[in-house]
Structure 1
């Protein structure tokens, strides 16, 4: 069985293609269940964010191309159309890629923390769909531990930066003073909440939150000192906004060209700044053609993001070193699993010997032997049973000069070595 990671991201594919292969959050469980049902796919997880769509799969030998074929079919894309944009990692490289993604090392914003939450959400969806077994379950638990250690042991998370923060920074650069601005936020998820917090810290003059579920919009607006509107009321309020930041899970644009043209007329052509950080896009692409509207997509944020890279590069190198060590440890565990888990086999044989000798010692008591005699029999017999096979094999190894087995046995039964490994 092989482990592979397959996907495309902001570095390999344009926004319009990333939109096309994004997975709808409402159907995520159905999608991963469909993927794991494909012939040869043993395990599956789908990670779909504004910057990436990735499939992580354990596949049987000969089924390595199945996830790629399925991805094309699921999104009704002609077979082979995505090939030039896709990357693929196998086994240890797939594990390394997952660790780098979860720690933010593969993000547009180096070290951004939101991706870990998105990986955890994808993990929960896969668990609900029962698409994980021991190898990938262990890999994901290891992923979360690695991400926590990187956050704790390096400064990768210093001076918090996120796509939301970058959107606000871009708005600040394009708008003279946020204290004079009215900002309209479309959505009420984590990214929009982060943007709302940054705007509140910047003392924005007025904050409007629009969301399909009004209760969610009201909750966020209350926490950030704004007011809420239903998404259906957006056309009536769009003209009030100097700045619009949008991030929802909608499959279709929410802000259209005609809606924007009406808003600009109502504003007497006072400029409007828009940032669309959703994939698929919330603001129709042709809105950029409207005079006095300045529309930026998530790919446009890269200019601002690059300014933050230098402060995090040293921390990123430390994080890479941690990841390399943890990839080796996970792959060692995986190799042991492929060997049939000798620890479990050893324990199973020892427990069988224990039960046999205990039954024979109990029989001695029933025949009138003293407890001391029964205990002595149990201790001696159990010791001989447990040590017979290892002793015979070591004697045979000594006779044929197998020094590697003898050295391995010395380390295996050395309490000091066991304590050292535990401390590590």
Structure 2
């Protein structure tokens, strides 16, 4: 089996393509079942976030091209459309990539912590779909341990900014004093939780939270002193917002050009600042063509993020050193799975002899032999059977002068190598 990591991310593909290959929570389980049934696929995991879509698969020899073909076919893309945007890592390079992803070293925000939770979610989905076996399950467990160690032993997480924080920081550049701004958050997931927390710290004048499930919006609003609405009520409240930050799992835009155009008219041309950090996008890109609307997508946040990146690059180098060591440890464990362990064979061999001799000793007792006679037979016969082959090989080694085998036998059986090895007949 070969481990392959195949995918695209914010560095290799534009958001317009990333949203075409994204998987949402509702479709991932079915996609995992479909992928796991592909010829040559033995294990599968799908990781899909706003910045990346990746497949981690174990494949048999000759099936290396199956994951890429499946990805294009599943999303009904023209064959070859993804070729120039995809990256692929095999074997230990795939292990290293997974470790770097989970520790935030491959993220737009270097060292950001949210990705680890997303990897854990992907792991749970793959387990529930029965798409994992021992090798990849062990890899994921190792991944979580590596991420924890990197967080503990380096400063990769020090002063880290999340995408949500970056969106708020960008809004603050436009609206110098957020205490005068009304902010609308579309979505109620972890990203919006972080955004709401940052906005509360900035003491925004008003916070509105819109979500498909009103109860979730109400819970988030209750924690941060906001006002909750459903997505259905967005058109009635959009004109109130000076700042809009959107991050939902919707497959289609929740804000169209027409809705935003009406809101701008109602605002009497007062500017509206919008940040769309969802993939697929929540705000129709055509909204950016409207006057008095300043629309930023997730890829536009890179400059703000880069300003904060340099302070963590030394920590990233330390993290890479830890990862290199842990990659080798996992690969050593994986190699051991493919090596036949003689200790297992030896034990099975000995247990087989034991069962045979024990059965004969019981038969002796059943025929009326004394317990002492049956025990003597058991001990002598079992000893002779277990030592027959080793003794024969040691006799041959002594006659041929094979000192390496003689010394190895001394080490194997815990004997004093300074003493001669017994080679007498049984």
Scaled by the length of structure 1, the TM-score of the pair is 0.89
Separation (CA, whole Å) in 1 of partners of 2:287 and 2:152: 43
- Matched residues in 2 for 1:377 and 1:322: separation? 57
CA distance in 1, matches of 2:409, 2:213: 63
Does 2:113 match 1:117? no
Whole-Å Cα distance in 2 between the matches of residues 393 and 172 of structure 1?
Answer: 81
Q: CA deviation at 1:96?
A: 0.8
Q: Is the 8 A contact 2:164 2:192 kept in 1?
A: yes
Q: How do residues 275-354 of structure 1 correspond to structure 2 at under 5 angstroms?
A: 275-342=275-342, 344-354=344-354
Note if 1:142 corresponds to 2:142. Answer: yes
Give per-residue Cα distances to partners, 1:192-233, cap 9 Å, x unaligned: 111111111222221111000000000111111111101100
CA distance in 1, matches of 2:403, 2:96: 36
Which residue matches 1:160? 160
SS, match of residue 145 in structure 2: helix
Structure 2 unpaired stretches of 5+: 416-426
- Give 1:369 shift: 3.4
Q: Structure 1 residue 189 and structure 2 residue 199: aligned? A: no
Query: Does 2:370 match 1:368?
Result: yes
The verdict on how the C-alpha distance between 1:270 and 1:35 changes in structure 2, with shifts beyond 3 A counting, is same
Q: Which residue of structure 2 aligns with residue 51 of structure 1?
A: 51
Contact 2:242-2:272 within 8 A present in 1 as well = yes
In structure 1, the partner of 2:179 is: 179
Distance 1:152 1:265, change over 3 A: same
Q: Please give the residue correspondences for 1:248-287 in structure 2 after superposition, counting only pairs within 5 Å.
A: 248-287=248-287
Give, in angstroms, the shift of residue 61 of structure 1: 0.9
Query: Is the 1:397–1:406 Cα contact (8 Å) retained in structure 2?
Result: no
Mean Cα deviation higher: 341-350 or 178-187: 341-350
Pairs aligned (count): 412
Instruction: Report SS of the residue matched to 1:307.
Output: helix
Give the Cα separation in 2 of the matches to 1:235 and 1:140. Answer: 43
Structure 1 residues 22, 395: closer, same or farther in 2, change over 3 A? farther
Per-residue displacement from partner, 1:53-89 (whole Å, max 9, x unpaired)? 1111111111111111111111111111110111111
CA 1:320–1:368 in 2, change beyond 3 Å: closer, same or farther?
same
8 Å CA contact 2:102–2:116 kept in 1: the answer is yes
Secondary structure (helix, strand or coil) at the match of 2:296 reads strand
Residue 3 of structure 2 corresponds to which residue in structure 1? 3
Deviation, structure 1 residue 361: 6.6
Mapping of residues 62-141 of structure 1, within 5 Å: 62-141=62-141
User: Contact 1:166–1:304 at 8 Å: present in 2 too?
Assistant: yes
- CA deviations 1:321-364 (Å, max 9, x no partner) are 11111111111111111224555444434444554566567678
- Output the CA distance in 2 between the equivalents of 1:10 and 1:411: 55
**Aligned equivalents of 2:141 and 2:284: distance in 1?**
39
CA displacement at 1:386 relative to structure 2 = 5.7
Residue number in structure 1 paired with 2:19: 19
- Cα deviations across residues 262-301 of structure 1 (Å, max 9, x unaligned)? 1111112111111100000001101111111111111011
Say which SS state the counterpart of residue 308 (structure 1) adopts: helix
CA–CA distance in 2 between the matches of 1:252 and 1:8? 21
Bigger mean CA offset, 81-90 vs 391-400: 391-400
CA RMSD of aligned residues (A): 2.7
1:191-210 equivalences under 5 Å are 191-210=191-210
> Does structure 1 conserve the Cα–Cα contact (< 8 Å) formed by 2:394 and 2:405?
no
Decide which moves more: 338-347 or 267-276: 338-347
Which structure 2 residues correspond to residues 386-397 of structure 1 after superposition, within 5 A? none
The separation in 2 between residues aligned to 1:112 and 1:408, in whole angstroms, is: 54
Greater mean alpha carbon deviation, residues 78-87 or residues 161-170: 161-170
Decide whether aligned partners of structure 1 residues 327 and 174 sit closer, same or farther in structure 2, where only a CA change above 3 A counts: same
Answer whether contact 2:247 2:277 (CA < 8 A) is retained.
yes
Which sections of structure 1, spanning at least 5 residues, go unmatched? 415-424
CA contact (8 A) 1:394 1:406 kept: no
